[in-house]
Structure 1
Amino acid sequence: MNFNQAASLYKLGVLPSEKMVDVAISALESGSDEEAIVMLAIETDKTLGTLNSLFEECLRVLNLDVLSNKETLEYAAQHYASLANSGAISEVEFGFKVGSFHDEYKLEGMLWDAFQNAMWYEEAPYEYGYPKDLESNRAFQAECLQKIRIIIERYAA
């Protein structure tokens, strides 16, 4: 995870506190010498009150405290796509992770398609109008997974 992705997850309210320090350490290992990042990386008090303020200072220094909603969703999708590519989450989980932000951020385009396909994958055996026999359901679900996989590949690139 990079600072762009961490900033987006922070804005979305889903960044675990331990990842704040991890992303700072990674930035230092990549050559950053920003004082705010150093301070976050070496902080021993792991309480959210301390880490949040240090992380927010890093975001200000890196000009990531002003991400647009579109940038926020794009960076979050990149993070979840990398998790899907590594096998840490499934295609369907990717769709539901990005879909969880729809109420506040109104997904559209490929992210909306990923969410829709994840829902269709899960609902295929139950909803009226979907394939009813087992073989058709499996084919329908495979098609949903393939569509999500294409979206994951786009965001992981």
Structure 2
Amino acid sequence: MEPSIRVFQFWGGLCVAAFCRHHRFGHRFIDELVYHHVELLRAPDLPAWDIAGARLAITGRGDAPPQEVLGIIPTELGDDFHRLIECATEIGIVDLYGAATDHPSRFLLKCLEVLDKHGIPKPREITCPLPAIVGFGEALGEEAFRNAVGRDSLPGDEE
């Protein structure tokens, strides 16, 4: 896969999944957010992908997660979880309707900082130092998507 915002968004989703797996909590609303982030790899219609993300129970766009999710997150992890989902979401939307910037890279680095703070290894798919990206790139076809995503780093899967 060529480095792109799509790939960085996928990596941001993997960071959220790794954080939750490490701290042993999960919820279908968190899974939906992670899968939405991953889905950008193959989304042919970027505005439709953005709209779908705004309709999730957890959007990562400044609103608090639903009470049923907040209730399962240990209090001491709440701020970092919120920062992580906000930064992971921003990777894919910060440049969606404007000029290409280095902001997606900055937000991915913030995701990695949260993992590092908690002693969580970065998902194996993430290459560091982060490669330079230019725009969103092309959507992956179905076979390339399945090869890229695998299953072992997503919610509900074993490490």
Larger Rg: 1
TM score, norm. by length of structure 1? 0.33
TM score, norm. by length of structure 2? 0.32
Compare relative contact order (CA 8 Å, sep 6+) and give the higher one, 1 or 2: 2
Structure with the bigger percentage of helix: 1
